[in-house]
Amino acid sequence: MSTTAAPQDPYVQDGPYAWFRLAISILLSTLGGAGMWAVVIVLPAVQADFGIDRAEASLPYTATMLGFAVGNYILGRFVDRFGIVPPVIASAFALSAGFALSALARDVWLFTLAQGVLVGLGTAATFGPLIADISHWFLKRRGLAVACAACGNYLAGVLWPSLIQWSLASTDWRETYFLIAAICLVTMVPLALILRRPPPEAALSTPTNAPAFGRQTIGLSPTALQALLIIAGLGCCVAMSMPQVHIVAYCVDLGYGVAPGADMIALMTGAGIISRLASGFIADKIGGVKTLLIGSVLQCAALFLYIPFNGLASLYLVSLIFGLSQGGIVPMYAVIVREYLPAREAGQRVGLVVMSTILGMALGGWLSGLIYDLTGSYEAAFLNGIAWNFLNMGIMVFILFSGRMRPRTA
């Protein structure tokens, strides 16, 4: 008697629908990433329009980052309870309303409020919550899937600045903000509705989901591990922020001007995409903790290289090395959460760690500026970043030796 194999369910983990869902998630993350970049590009125009100094003009960016940080945690909790669709639709409306209200603002304070509360929170739904959601749809290729989803905000850094510059060439920043508001609302709502299918029950049925290389156990409570990951995320991103926030000013101090520094930021971002994808492949082979540790060690080495090598060609090369080192670090926190912590709490737990990394970027940018003001040099600021990087590396080593492997059961 002949038998035929049952067709594979396309909606299981790692199935065709999972990859389609990943593509939609990347697109949503790229669109929602407008909130991270628009305020940076229009900053000079906003400053001139409101007649304010550079410090006041920087407040909307700070507010946006704070809203983005808090939103990753708050909306992550909503994802755990209601799925990804309601937060992303709410994000589309928040972004649209935030950009529209910002365009109507007649002073910097209303502009800052709209950026922080509406744009910042709206942007948050398209980063940590989307990463947590897509992690449920992959098992064997979870590291790669998480890394791909995290590339959305880097792709936003390629798409949105170009679009905004094109718009500013023919109109003002207010009209540009109205355009962004319309794009977010018209595109994100239909894309969010495509993600209505709930995760496979298998993805939520066990406290942790075993990656391909074995099931993870660890001699730490979930609360202790979460706390360590928060501290590690803060430390690695204080270190990461030094070149990303201050490389333009550093180039100006060295007499190279603004343009090379801007080029180095673009180089870091492009290399960061490669780093994220490579880290995803590696994590699927050796696990998130080891992959994050490798990235952190390489980032630390790149920070050391910035100190003695300050020639223009050297800075380009070191910035490339830095981008290839740091890009994959942040997504690995989501991979670690999914390896060790309860799957049904992935949204809030990933959101907490992502929030700590964003706060680390904000803290590190400020600390580096303060150290420069106190010492008149960026050398001490680089050393400060290296010290925070060692904190992150130490925590990863501790987690690695606290864990133990056991054979995967069928």
Q: Three-state secondary structure along 247-272?
A: HHHHHHHCCCCHHHHHHHHHHHHHHH
pLDDT band at 80 (very low <50, low <70, confident <90, very high): confident
pLDDT band at 404 (very low <50, low <70, confident <90, very high): low
Q: What is the pLDDT of residue 222?
A: 87
The predicted model gives 5-13 an average pLDDT of 60
Where are the domains positioned within the chain? 16-204, 215-406
Distance, in Å, from the CA atom of 375 to the CA atom of 222, rounded to the nearest integer, reads 41
Q: Which fold has domain 16-204?
A: Growth Hormone; Chain: A; (1.20.1250)
| DSSP 8-class letter at 7 | P
Q: What is the pLDDT of residue 210?
A: 42
The predicted model gives 9-18 an average pLDDT of 78
pLDDT band at 233 (very low <50, low <70, confident <90, very high): very high
Percentage of the chain exceeding pLDDT 90 = 36
Domains 16-204 and 215-406 share a fold: yes
**Residues contacting 97, CB < 8 A, separation 6+:** 118, 181
The predicted model gives 240-244 an average pLDDT of 85
Strand, coil or helix: what is 405?
Answer: strand
Strand, coil or helix: what is 195?
Answer: coil
The predicted model gives 12-35 an average pLDDT of 90
Q: What is the pLDDT of residue 54?
A: 63
Cα separations in angstroms, 245 against 155, 320, 366, 369: 18, 15, 9, 9
Q: What is the pLDDT of residue 230?
A: 93
pLDDT at 268 over 90: no
pLDDT at 405 over 50: no
CATH 3.90.198.10 corresponds to the domain 215-406: no
pLDDT of 273-294, one tens digit each?
A: 899 899 989 998 899 999 999 9
Instruction: From 157, 199, 153, 212, select the one nearest 331 (Cα to Cα).
Output: 153
Task: Give the H or E element holding residue 139.
Answer: none
